[in-house]
């Protein structure tokens, strides 16, 4: 199992627990629709009216994610939003909880223990919070809000690292996976012809590329067939996006072609010759647009000075997030086709 990225444990100055009388059996709580829900497993003070009131979200066993604020971008990296989704299975004695913070809602796995402080741990499943049994939910929520910036920064770093690892890892066999236009798709050897089962211009995670190969096809043949399809898609998609920006800006180029460079995403000469890396097809369209805008800006500014970045902003307002996404990768970090 992958080692956790980081851990932060801190003492919130919590008072020592005072002896408390045995609590009365809690009344059933209501789910958002008003239906009665069974009480969770015993968790000291977790069901008290005070704690429920202090928390902005009810701690309902099995409750789904809280509604996101209007306009929130769900794409990983989009507008800085960091997905925090419940794991497939919870550790023994754990529960899933969500807390609203000024930045976004943060979901986490909550565990109780005999420790004296509240601890935060980033794991493969996201944020894990471990708190003393005698600490109320309201106090735990405040601890999460107080460390929201640190939590989201660490989660974002962890998810970007996992994405880079996933991108580099491709198994050239039936059922293998790889990134295409920002989504992870699966390729299968069957089918009577090569075709994409889904919208090839707006793929969804889990869509399938049927290769039209016999079931006994070896890894090299599978790899070459996938590569040929990706390069064809890259040529068509980049041509469409390039035409869009040329028409919108009135700029003109002499020619363009795909490249297989291992160290650069694109280039532009003073003669108006543009080269764009076919491996861009692994990324979402906004990243492709950024690289195209970057190279087109060189038609007016053959440097990377302030004037150049102003020109990029004119061609593609709000390019910064796509640029940041691309900075996390280089062509060599993508699935190997050799």
The pLDDT confidence band at residue 328, using thresholds 50, 70 and 90, is confident
pLDDT (0 to 100) of residue 48:
27
In a domain, 254, yes or no: yes
Q: Of 162, 192, 223, which residue is a domain's last?
A: 162
For residue 100, the Cα-to-chain-centroid distance in whole angstroms is: 19
Could you tell me if residue 21 is inside a domain? no
* Average confidence (pLDDT) over 204-233: 94
Burial of 334 (0-12, 13-18, 19+ CB in 10 A): buried
| pLDDT classification of 13: cutoffs 50, 70, 90 | very low
DSSP tag of 176 = E
Are residues 234 and 129 part of one domain?
Answer: no
Model confidence at 8: pLDDT above 90 = no
Do residues 293 and 239 both lie within one domain?
Answer: yes
Instruction: Examine residue 32 and state whether it is found in any structural domain, yes or no.
Output: no
CATH code for the domain in which residue 226 is found = 3.30.2010.10
Q: How many domains, in total, are found in the chain?
A: 2
Same domain, 158 and 267: no
Residue 37 falls within a domain, yes or no?
no
Q: Does residue 41 or residue 321 have the better pLDDT? A: 321
Residues 47 and 146 in one domain: yes
- Of residues 23 and 212, more confidence is placed in 212
Number of C-alpha atoms within 13 angstroms, CB side, residue 304?
4
Total-model pTM: 0.55
* Residue 191, pLDDT score: 82
Q: Please indicate, yes or no, whether residues 276 and 316 belong to a single structural domain of this protein.
A: yes
- Report which of 134, 115, 131 is spatially closest to residue 19, judged by C-alpha positions: 134
Residues 76 and 105 in one domain: yes
In a domain, residue 28? The reply is: no
Domain limit, last residue, from 121, 137, 162: 162
- Of 136, 162, 188, the last residue of a domain is 162
Alpha helices (H) in the chain, listed in sequence order: 49-54, 137-146, 148-168, 219-249, 285-297, 306-315, 320-327
Mean pLDDT of the chain: 77
Same domain, 186 and 149: no
Residues in the chain, total: 338
In this predicted structure, the answer to whether residue 213 has a pLDDT above a threshold of 60 is: yes
User: Is residue 200 a part of any domain in this protein?
Assistant: yes
Whether pLDDT at 134 is above 90: yes
* 34 within domain boundaries: no
Say whether both 328 and 193 belong to one domain: yes
Highest mean pLDDT among 87-91, 147-151, 333-337: 147-151
Structural domain of 200: 176-333
Mark whether 181 and 323 lie in a shared domain: yes
pLDDT tens column, 158-194: 877 766 665 556 789 999 999 999 998 999 998 888 9
Instruction: Identify whether 308 is part of a domain.
Output: yes
Mean pLDDT, range 115-125, rounded to an integer: 87
Residue 133 pLDDT:
92
Residues 324 and 198 in one domain: yes
DSSP-derived secondary structure letter, 198: S
Check whether residue 323 and residue 250 sit in a common domain. yes
Which pLDDT score is estimated for 169? 66
Q: What is the pLDDT of residue 86?
A: 87
Of 159-163, 203-207, 235-239, 251-255, give the lowest mean pLDDT range. 159-163
Same domain, 158 and 180: no
């Amino acid at each position: 199992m992958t080692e956790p990225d980081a851990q932060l444990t801190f003492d919130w100055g919590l008072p020592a627990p005072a002896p408390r009388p045995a609590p009365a059996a809690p009344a059933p709580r209501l789910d958002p629709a008003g239906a009665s829900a069974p009480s969770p497993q015993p968790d000291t003070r977790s069901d008290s009216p005070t704690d429920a009131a202090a928390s902005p979200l009810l701690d309902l066993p099995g409750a789904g994610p809280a509604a996101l604020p209007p306009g929130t971008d769900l794409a990983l990296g989009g507008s800085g939003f960091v997905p925090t989704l419940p794991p497939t299975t919870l550790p023994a004695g754990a529960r899933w909880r969500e807390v609203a913070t000024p930045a976004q809602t943060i979901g986490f796995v909550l565990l109780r223990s005999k420790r004296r402080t509240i601890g935060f741990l980033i794991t493969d499943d996201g944020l894990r919070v471990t708190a003393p049994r005698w600490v109320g939910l309201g106090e735990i929520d405040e601890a999460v809000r107080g460390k929201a910036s640190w939590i989201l920064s660490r989660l974002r770093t962890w998810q970007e690292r996992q994405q880079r690892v996933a991108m580099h890892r491709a198994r050239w066999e039936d059922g293998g996976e790889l990134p295409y236009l920002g989504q992870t798709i699966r390729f299968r050897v069957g089918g009577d012809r090569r075709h994409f089962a889904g919208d090839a211009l707006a793929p969804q995670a889990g869509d399938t590329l049927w290769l039209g190969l016999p079931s006994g096809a070896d890894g090299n043949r599978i790899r070459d067939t996938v590569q040929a399809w990706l390069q064809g898609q890259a040529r068509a998609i980049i041509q469409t996006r390039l035409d869009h920006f040329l028409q919108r800006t009135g700029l003109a180029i002499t020619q363009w072609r795909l490249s297989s460079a291992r160290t650069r995403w694109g280039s532009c000469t003073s003669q108006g010759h543009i080269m764009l890396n076919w491996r861009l097809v692994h990324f979402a369209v906004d990243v492709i647009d950024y690289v195209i805008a970057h190279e087109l800006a060189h038609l007016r500014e053959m440097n990377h000075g302030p004037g150049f970045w102003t020109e990029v902003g004119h061609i593609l307002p709000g390019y910064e997030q796509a640029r940041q996404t691309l900075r996390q990768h280089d062509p060599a970090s993508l699935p190997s086709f050799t």
